[in-house]
């Protein structure tokens, strides 16, 4: 057995442990080491273009790291599609990257056999059991699970919203996975609003909009991500409205995700917002320190071969606060640099490796800045926030300013109270709890807080 073949055996074993049996069996087990490879340029092959593209997208860099960890002289790892003469393989290789091969259809009793069932291109890692739950996302997760369960549709549409990188895409993938597990023959489509627009325009140019409409409106489950991208696109919005209207009217499942709540989406037709608002709207709030720690613990558990000290995890959880996606990227960067350099991961190494990312999160928000911005937003005078006035037009902005001060600064409750006209800590606690409760029920308050947070954190 050659050196590269022995290395490949060890790499496969490492991948099975780190990726998990399900991901490994579905995506990584079919990888084959091409004959004749030396220990410098390794070539791996897969049986279809679809699988090749998925592995390239998700594991190309990891495969290089794994090979070099076993065989340092490896220079590159090339991932190709194995060439076969069989016609079915040729057809599979011709599929576009965004589409998965069509699966066999299981007809329901008493119903005619459909032509083909849609099989979306799903990330096998994005399942419910891989989603870390805490109070900031619990409603959204429970709603997603309920919609994905077999049986009668409890509510549709489900509208998920939250800032970038907080888990919306994970949840819509999880819904599709769960629903398909219960209904293997179902027609399911998952696409971005941007792709919806692109395919609809292409269908119009080809004068074949009937097939496009039939494909989407025939879905048992339709999931559309990043709705905000069709803002201002009138023709696309008209088709989008008729599509979702038919899905909802037919009692089928519809899931929409966006970076803002329906009422905060500008450039989207009122009839679309009204239809989407008729279902369940659930938000995913910015991650708490507890959630960030839990996410890191889950990711570290997937990498038993990597040792990361607790103080490094604390650094990541407390300093990388932008999004879960950015947090995971920071962890990947630390582990990858350690693997490539042979360095031991400690606090000094992590701070050096993440220098630019940590500096990007060093901005400190002050209570004075918060008060100034709140006054500008609500058109108040600075004295209003520290006065004894209890009119709602003043009291509510004051509570919002206290809520933001507690969330964005390191000041204690008594310190915050003193900055608002000498109020005590119990007043600040009441304000924080009041705004937290109103964000669930009052769209105006939630919208104002989101706008102010975006301005203060930018």
- Indicate the pTM of the whole model: 0.55
Q: Compute how many other C-beta atoms are within 10 angstroms of the C-beta atom of residue 257.
A: 24
For the segment(s) 367-457, the CATH number from 1.10.1750.10, 1.10.730.10, 1.10.600.10, 1.10.10.10 is 1.10.1750.10
For the segment(s) 3-93, the CATH number from 3.40.1080.10, 3.90.650.10, 3.40.50.150, 3.30.300.180 is 3.30.300.180
Query: pLDDT digit of tens for each residue in the chain (458 aa)?
Result: 678 888 888 888 888 877 777 678 777 888 988 866 566 788 899 887 767 877 887 788 788 888 888 888 888 888 888 754 332 322 222 223 333 333 333 434 334 333 344 567 788 889 999 899 988 899 999 999 999 998 888 788 999 998 888 889 999 999 999 999 998 888 999 988 888 888 888 888 888 788 888 888 888 999 999 898 888 888 889 999 999 989 988 889 999 999 888 888 888 899 998 888 888 999 898 888 888 889 999 888 888 888 888 888 888 888 887 788 888 888 989 998 888 888 899 888 888 888 877 765 555 678 999 999 999 999 999 899 989 888 989 999 999 999 999 887 878 888 899 999 889 889 999 999 999 889 888 888 988 888 888 787 65
- Contact between 77 and 63 under an 8 Å Cβ cutoff? The reply is yes
pLDDT, residue 110, reads 35
Residue 256: its H or E element: strand 253-258
Tell me whether domains 289-360 and 367-457 share a fold: no
pLDDT, residue 13, reads 85
Rounded Cα distance, 17 and 14, in Å: 5
CA triple 67-73-76, angle to 5 deg: 60
pLDDT, residue 103, reads 33
Crossing angle between the packed helical segments 425-441 and 392-408, to the nearest 10 degrees: 100
pLDDT, residue 1, reads 66
Domain ranges of the chain: 3-93, 128-284, 289-360, 367-457
Rounded Cα distance, 127 and 26, in Å: 14
**What's domain 128-284's superfamily in CATH?**
P-loop containing nucleotide triphosphate hydrolases (3.40.50.300)
Q: What is the dihedral of CA 297, 298, 304, 309, to 10 degrees?
A: -10
- Contact between 408 and 416 under an 8 Å Cβ cutoff? The reply is no
Phi, psi values for residue 292, rounded to 5°: -65, -40
The token pair that represents 450 in the structure block: 């989101």
- Contact between 318 and 354 under an 8 Å Cβ cutoff? The reply is no
CATH of domain 289-360: 1.10.8.60
pLDDT, residue 458, reads 58
């Amino acid at each position: 057995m050659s050196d590269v073949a022995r290395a490949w055996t060890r790499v496969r074993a490492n991948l099975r442990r780190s990726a998990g049996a399900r991901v490994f069996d579905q995506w990584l087990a079919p990888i084959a080491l091409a004959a004749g490879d030396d220990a410098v340029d390794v070539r791996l092959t897969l049986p279809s273009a679809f699988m090749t593209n998925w592995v390239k997208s998700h594991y190309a860099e990891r495969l290089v790291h794994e090979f070099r960890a076993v065989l340092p002289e490896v220079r590159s790892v090339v991932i190709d599609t194995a060439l076969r003469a069989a016609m079915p393989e040729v057809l599979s290789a011709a599929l576009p990257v965004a589409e998965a091969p069509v699966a066999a259809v299981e007809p329901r009793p008493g119903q005619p056999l459909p032509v083909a069932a849609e099989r979306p291109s799903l990330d096998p890692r994005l399942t419910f059991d891989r989603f870390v739950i805490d109070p900031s996302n619990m409603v959204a997760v429970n709603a997603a699970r309920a919609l994905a369960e077999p049986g009668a549709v409890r509510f549709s549409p489900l509208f998920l919203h939250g800032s970038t990188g907080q888990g919306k895409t994970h949840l819509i993938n999880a819904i599709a996975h769960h629903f398909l597990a219960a209904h293997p023959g179902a027609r399911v489509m998952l696409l971005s609003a941007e792709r919806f627009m692109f395919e609809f325009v292409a269908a119009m140019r080809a004068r074949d909009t009937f097939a496009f409409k039939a494909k989407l409106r025939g879905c048992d489950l339709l999931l559309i991500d990043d709705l905000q991208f069709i803002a201002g696109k009138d023709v696309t919005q008209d088709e989008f409205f008729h599509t979702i209207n038919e899905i909802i009217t037919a009692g089928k499942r519809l899931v929409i995700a966006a970076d803002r709540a329906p009422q905060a989406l500008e450039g989207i037709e009122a009839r679309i917002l009204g239809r989407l608002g008729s279902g369940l709207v659930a938000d995913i709030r910015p991650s708490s320190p507890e959630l960030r720690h839990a996410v890191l613990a889950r990711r570290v558990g997937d990498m038993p071969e990597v040792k990361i000290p607790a103080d490094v995890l604390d650094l990541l959880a407390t300093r990388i606060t932008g999004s879960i996606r950015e947090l995971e990227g920071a962890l990947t960067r630390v582990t990858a640099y350690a693997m490539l350099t042979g360095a031991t991961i400690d606090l000094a190494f992590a701070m050096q490796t993440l220098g630019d990312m940590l500096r990007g999160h060093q901005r400190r928000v002050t209570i004075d800045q918060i008060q100034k911005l709140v006054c500008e937003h609500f058109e108040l005078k600075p004295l209003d926030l520290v006065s004894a006035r209890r009119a709602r037009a003043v009291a509510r902005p004051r509570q919002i300013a206290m809520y933001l001060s507690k969330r964005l600064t390191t000041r204690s409750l008594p310190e915050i109270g003193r900055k608002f006209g000498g109020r005590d800590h119990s007043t600040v606690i009441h304000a924080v709890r009041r705004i937290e409760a109103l964000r669930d029920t009052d769209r105006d308050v939630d919208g104002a807080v989101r706008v102010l947070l975006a301005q203060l954190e930018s």
